[in-house]
Amino acid sequence: MVQWKGGVGKSTLAVHLAAALDAVLVDLEPWGGATAWWAGGRSRNLWQAAGPAPVLRALQLGRTPRPRAGEAGRPRLVPSHEQLLALTEDATNGIAAWAWSADGRPTLMVNTSHGPKPLADALRDAIPRWATEWGAHVLVDTPAGFGPLADGGVAAADVVVLPVTLDQWAVPALRKFMASYAPRVRRGLVVPNRVRARVVDDRWAEVISADGVVQEPFVLGPPIQESEVLHAARRPLSAGPAPSAARATALQQIQRVATRALELAER
């Protein structure tokens, strides 16, 4: 899950897509949006848990992290941690170190079981290995904007999912992302999210579906409508008894996106 722009519903959608896919959700977003949604009032206990971030500890030890068990409709989770915030700053507090790459770019290095390694490369190599150990699909939520956490997730992905709201801010950012990242992406799925029945959304839907806007390796995926039940729910929509009509509609739309992502992954 990636986007340059925040506020497009990426983390909420990440939790629900992971549940639909029976996937392990790896939260690389330093503020832990998906972790907060998953854990509710207990999220601080995960985000501020003693010791290093679960992802960084796994890289350092060369082990596969143990996901938190999913329940009540929640997917299994490797939570975010406040320590990841340091990776977005110049001062990394000994967690990582900046070095110059061979092409002269600053590169964030982390300790791994095989010695120091660029963070993006370490994640690229580790996430597929973790997926094999878990025997499950993996869905990675990444920070808005781009840096080594997001770059590692993109590099590891069979399919990159880009949620986009239909407005004058998100659509240009989407086009910039596609232009910049096309060489790094195997397959990309653009998902119109929080779509509302209004004229301006119809106009942007025409823009995004026009020839030449969404180009290979990206494809335009099924839309997900703005939904009060999805936006305001305090637990995953797949939890509890038989869903209401509104909840069932949202779940059907999420399942269509999950199915399309799997189709692209298998190409």
Q: What is the pLDDT of residue 239?
A: 66
Sole residue written with tokens 């003693």: 50
Model-level pTM?
0.92
Q: What is the pLDDT of residue 37?
A: 85
| Domains defined along the chain, listed by start | 10-265 (3.40.50.300)
| Between 229 and 226, residue with greater pLDDT | 226
Greatest mean pLDDT range, 226-235, 245-254, 256-265: 256-265
Return the DSSP state at 210. Answer: S
- Structural tokens at position 122: 């370490």
Q: How far apart are CA 63 and CA 50, in angstroms?
A: 19
CA geometry: angle 41, 47, 52, nearest 5 deg: 155
CB atoms within 10 A of CB 30: 22
Q: What is the pLDDT of residue 234?
A: 64
Residue 181, CA distances (Å) to 1, 85, 260 in order: 14, 24, 20
141 three-state secondary structure: strand
Bond before 217 cis per omega within 30 degrees: yes
| Between 12 and 246, residue with greater pLDDT | 12
CA-closest candidate to residue 14, choices 145, 160, 175: 160
Distance of CA 3 to the CA centre of its chain: 9
- Tell me which of 22-26, 75-79, 166-170 is least confident: 166-170
Q: How far apart are CA 199 and CA 81, in angstroms?
A: 41
